[in-house]
Amino acid sequence: MPRLLTPALSAPELNDPAVQAAAAQLATGGLVGLPTETVYGLAADAHQAEAVRQIFSAKGRPADHPLIVHLAPDWREGIAHHTEGRIPDFAQALMQAFWPGPLTLILPRRTGHAEVAAGGQSTVGLRCPSHPVAQAVLQAALALGVYGVAAPSANRFGRVSPTTAAHVLDEFAALSDEALLVLDGGACAVGIESTIVDASRGVPVLLRPGILTVPELEAACGQRVYAPEDAPKALQAAPKASGTLASHYAPSAQVRLMEAKALEAAVKMVLAATHPPGPPRIAVYAAIPAPAAAQAKRSPVLWRTQPLEADVCAQELFALLREFDAQGVSLIWVQTPPAGPVWDGVRDRLQRAAA
């Protein structure tokens, strides 16, 4: 069973025993379950090839599917260490606006650096997390010669991302206490993975939506942020990036997105039918009011109310999908989120979960 340590959460010092233990674990080639503001990451020193290969092995992740490298709060040193050549002005503006924070930038990779973490590509994804525990660990690790840690979500490949330390322990219970140290940093504040912007092709291209919206990104960098299908045709091929496969973030139960009227009608049919005794087989996550019968003690439907605010929905989404799996439901019906850029990150995760 992995080790679990709890550092001081509000403002952990670099000499906090849990922080120091995690930094030493990274420096010596081990794995750390690292809390960030987005989701928990499965972290290893990005420049120790064998340590990074442990991430791919533990997750069951294809070796050509790149990982995001997380940098210490003084991220300029990490940028210089990992990137090749001049960084575009728009990328620098995005760093200044959103780092530390839930933004990943894809940049040309410095030859010979983080090659395994980058999946062999000539680019590398970089971000600086804002979670105080992550920042303390990254700073302490930097003092030990770790210039950045590769840290994809700490779950088995394609599954629901973890937003608590308990989720990480559940995913990797088979690993030994020597192989994995998990830091308990509380529940993640954002709850979905970072926004990814490709800055390697001369113009900003959104590869994965997140809590940061396109209007916010455009306001910060002063130019258009392209969708992949709208990027200028003269640009080279898009790099691979984390979390962009059609099917991803999926619970064991089958997820189906439904408009409000269709969902309401389907639930009505289920509630009108005769069901054998036992736990609910269908979970519903919807903003529409729950029928009285759905709230009955022996209802065949497990109902959870979808928040009207996108950031609140994002924060609870993955934990809720895990809860539904733990309840043993076979189907999860989700009301399609509203239109608009603030919902793009949530909508993206649900569409991939349902794919």
* CATH code for residues 3-230: 3.90.870.10
Rounded Cα distance, 141 and 30, in Å: 12
Rounded Cα distance, 306 and 17, in Å: 39
Confidence at residue 310, expressed as pLDDT on a 0 to 100 scale? 98
Mean pLDDT of 3-11: 83
Confidence at residue 91, expressed as pLDDT on a 0 to 100 scale? 98
Outline which parts of the chain fall under CATH 3.40.50: 254-354
State the average pLDDT for the chain.
Answer: 93
Confidence at residue 246, expressed as pLDDT on a 0 to 100 scale? 63
Confidence at residue 8, expressed as pLDDT on a 0 to 100 scale? 80
Mean pLDDT of 129-133: 96
Is pLDDT at 304 greater than 70 in this prediction?
yes
- Quick: pLDDT tens for 24-35: 999 999 999 999
Beta bridge partners of 305: 286
- Quick: pLDDT tens for 249-295: 789 999 999 999 999 999 999 998 877 777 888 999 999 999 988 88
Rounded Cα distance, 133 and 11, in Å: 8
Name the band, by pLDDT with cuts 50, 70 and 90, for residue 199. very high
The residue count for the chain: 355
Mean pLDDT of 139-166: 96
Name the band, by pLDDT with cuts 50, 70 and 90, for residue 243. low
Phi, psi dihedrals of residue 258, rounded to the nearest 5° = -140, 140
- Quick: pLDDT tens for 79-107: 999 998 889 999 999 999 999 999 999 99
Rounded Cα distance, 187 and 314, in Å: 12
Question: What is the CATH T-level fold of the domain 254-354, as seen in this structure?
Answer: Rossmann fold (3.40.50)
Outline which parts of the chain fall under CATH 3.90.870.10: 3-230
Q: Quick count: other Cβ atoms within 10 Å of Cβ 73?
A: 17
Name the band, by pLDDT with cuts 50, 70 and 90, for residue 244. low
- What does the CA dihedral 3, 46, 147, 105 come to, rounded to 10 degrees? -110
Going through the chain in order, the beta strands assigned E by DSSP cover 3-5, 31-34, 41-45, 68-70, 103-108, 123-127, 149-150, 180-183, 195-198, 205-208, 254-258, 282-286, 301-305, 331-335
